[in-house]
Amino acid sequence: MNKPVRDAMKAIFNESGIEIKPLYTATDVESSGGVTMVGEPGAYPFTRGIHRLMYRKQPWTMRQYAGFGNPHETNKRFRYLIANGNTGLNVAFDLPTQCGMDSDDPIAEGEVGRVGMSVDTLRDFEIAFDGIDLAKITVSLTINGAAAILIAMYLALAEKRGYDLKQLRGTAQNDILKEFIGRGTWIYPVEPSIKLVGDTIEYCAQHAPKYTPVSVCGYHIRESGATPAQEMAYAFCIAKAYADEALKRGLHIDEFAGRLSYNFNIFGNIFEQVCKFRAGRGLWAKIMKEEYGAENPGSMWMRMIAAGGGGGLTFEQPEVNIVRGAYYALISALSGTQTMALCSFDEAYTIPTEYSARISLRTMQLLIEEMGLTETVDPLAGSYYVETLTNQMRRKMEEIMAETDAEGGIVKLISEGLVQSKVSAQAYQMQRDIESGKFRKVGVNCYRNEKEDEHPIEFHPYADDDARVQIESLNRVREERDADAVAAALTQLRGDADAGRNVMPALMRAVKAYATVGEMTQELVKVYGRYREPVRF
């Protein structure tokens, strides 16, 4: 089992279902669609990169995912990462915060600060970002169901510190449709959830035009069982749904499209991953220009963060994940990403330690300083294989998008649980293939160590004291704040939601009054209700 023997002429298919030939020539490029979609870097259709000089002018942002315990502990990790070269922050929130609960909610017991930072009020943001210059270190908020609330908190924090919101940069994940497919941290039903995304897009277009209110996450769709082609295609369908919501409000496509971004996955075959991004850039530019009439080149850019690939990491032989991570970073750089957030080697079983997070940072820094990845743009361009596969991946994405539209559209399919059912079935089959050895995974079903005792594994401890401190802090805020101001803000929030108005102004008022995440969520639930997942077999 440890020594692969291949029939050289046996058909090989990548995960997206495209057959890989033993040899590629110029004829393959031509027959797959030619080079009409290649273009030049920084020019439509942006296949070779959204900037003319790419990394030659400025390397990618290094934005490691971090956050745990209470805001005090998270602030320490933020400062550590920045001191070691992190050039952006990617904030993890605990499950209670993601699901719109306060830390003292009985349902939250045991989960406060476990998988991310706990946030109850604006005070927590003030603590978490203490000493961090928001003009120099851009912040990505990895939050979805409660995204509108957390965006309001971040904007309120910036205002309180004297930053000009017109110049403020940052990102919120805020991709609720992928939550229904993959992660499950939804709160409200599908339609009002999309409405809230539209509220944030509209509000930011008017008040914080350089802020990115939505980062569409093919990443989690891929982790849930989608193929690389499906990852991109479903993400584009979702992005179009948000764009359509914004357009219904009277916004022009060029008022907001340039501030949409993407979060994509990396794990898998190097060439399939690189080509999906090259194909995706050209396809997204084509969609924006031809379907939506965008005129500003920036509206056609597929801006992305990539290099995660947590689904590719293994609990077995965790040190091998350091090597996997290095290849993921290589893929990301060759793909033309704007930002990297590289998974650390211990993320298959715990929150990364400072040691493992530093290795991930050093991996990205090695590519910049020693490996020549920033010296030229799109170095794989012109390869017969790469250009052929790029064309094939783009065609595969277009087919998936057309099929989705023909079946009623992404919103309908997600509402009915059909996309979830499809990718779940694929995830189940992939797991079966790994268990049987059909899909080879080093250290798992081949090249195993039967005695896994080379190195001790350091698990991140769950600190009950962190949760206690957080709840005590929450109670102090409740005692110190102006109760009448909170009540008035919450009344306005419910009234605006009930009237169908944009709730962001009311949320801004509420967070400035130090209303809690749970209080604001409950007012919205009274109007929108809660989502109930359709069960399909």
In which residue are the tokens 């090989």 written? 12
Phi, psi of 19 (to 5 degrees): -70, 135
Q: How far apart are CA 406 and CA 404, in angstroms?
A: 5
Q: Is the peptide bond before 96 cis (omega within 30 degrees of 0)?
A: no
Max intra-chain CA distance, the chain: 75
pLDDT value for 451: 75
CB 288 within 8 A of CB 294: yes
* Phi and psi torsions of 91, nearest 5°: -95, 125
What is the per-residue pLDDT for 454?
A: 61
Length of the chain measured in residues: 537
CA dist 464 and 69 (Å) reads 9
Please tell me the distance from the alpha carbon of residue 495 to that of residue 314, in angstroms, as a whole number: 49
DSSP 8-state assignment for residue 430: H
Q: How many CB atoms lie within 10 A of CB 24?
A: 17
Closest Cα to residue 64, out of 427, 471, 352?
Answer: 352
Query: How far is it, in rounded angstroms, from Cα 355 to Cα 460?
Result: 12
69 phi, psi to nearest 5 deg: 65, -145
Joined together, the tokens standing for residue 49 give 């990169």
One DSSP character per residue, 326-358 reads HHHHHHHHHHT-SEE-PPPTTTTTSSPPHHHHH
Q: How many C-alpha atoms does 263 have within 13 Å on its Cβ side?
A: 28
Tell me whether strands 12-13 and 19-20 are parallel, antiparallel or unpaired. Answer: antiparallel
CB-count exposure of residue 107 (10 Å: 0-12, 13-18, 19+): exposed
**What are the C-alpha distances in Å from 365 to residues 77, 119, 136, 360, 471?**
19, 31, 19, 9, 39
Note the Cα 229 to chain centre separation in Å: 17
- 380 burial (CB, 10 Å; 0-12 / 13-18 / 19+) is middle
Contact indicator for 344, 351 with CB cutoff of 8 Å: no
Q: Identify the bridge partners of residue 88 per DSSP, sorted by sequence position.
A: 138
Separation of CA 460 from chain center: 23
Kindly provide the residue ranges of all beta strands, DSSP E only, lying in 128-200, ordered along the sequence. 138-142, 170-172
Q: What pLDDT tens digit does each residue of the chain (537 aa) get?
A: 455 666 777 899 999 999 999 999 999 999 999 999 999 999 999 999 999 999 999 999 999 989 999 999 999 999 999 999 999 999 999 999 999 999 999 999 999 999 999 999 999 999 999 999 999 999 999 999 999 999 999 999 999 999 999 999 999 999 999 999 988 899 999 999 999 999 999 999 999 999 999 999 999 999 999 999 999 999 999 999 999 999 999 999 999 999 999 999 999 999 999 999 999 999 999 999 999 999 999 999 999 999 778 889 999 999 999 999 999 999 999 999 999 999 999 998 888 899 999 999 999 999 999 999 999 999 999 999 999 999 999 999 999 999 999 999 999 999 999 999 999 999 999 999 999 999 999 999 999 987 765 666 677 778 788 899 999 999 999 999 999 999 999 999 999 999 999 999 999 999 999 999 999 999 999 999 999 887 765
Q: What's the CA dihedral at 413, 415, 421, 423 to 10 degrees? A: 70
Q: Which two tokens stand for residue 170?
A: 């940052």
The CA distance from 214 to 483, in Å, is: 32
pLDDT for position 449: 86
Domains of the chain: 24-436 (3.20.20.240)
- Strand ranges, E, within 205-253: 211-212, 214-217
* Alpha carbon distance 474, 516 (integer Å): 8
The candidate with the shortest Cα–Cα distance to 282, out of 329, 232, 331, 319, is: 232
AA identity, residue 455: H
Q: Which two tokens stand for residue 495?
A: 């009234």
- For tokens 């219904």, what's the residue? 248
Residue with token string 């959204």: 50
CA-wise closest residue to 214 among 140, 314, 284, 297: 140
Q: Which residues of 319-339 are buried (b: 16+ CB within 10 A; e: fewer)?
A: ebbeebbbbbbbbbbbbbbbb
- Cβ-contact 265, 231 below 8 angstroms: yes
386: which 2 tokens? 């790469």
Closest CA to 324 of 247, 276, 270, 277: 270
Tokens 């939804």 locate to 186
CB-based contacts of 64: which residues, under 8 Å, 6+ apart? 81, 86, 90, 341, 342, 344, 357, 360, 361
Encoding tokens for residue 385?
Answer: 């294989």
The structure tokens listed for 346 are 């211990």
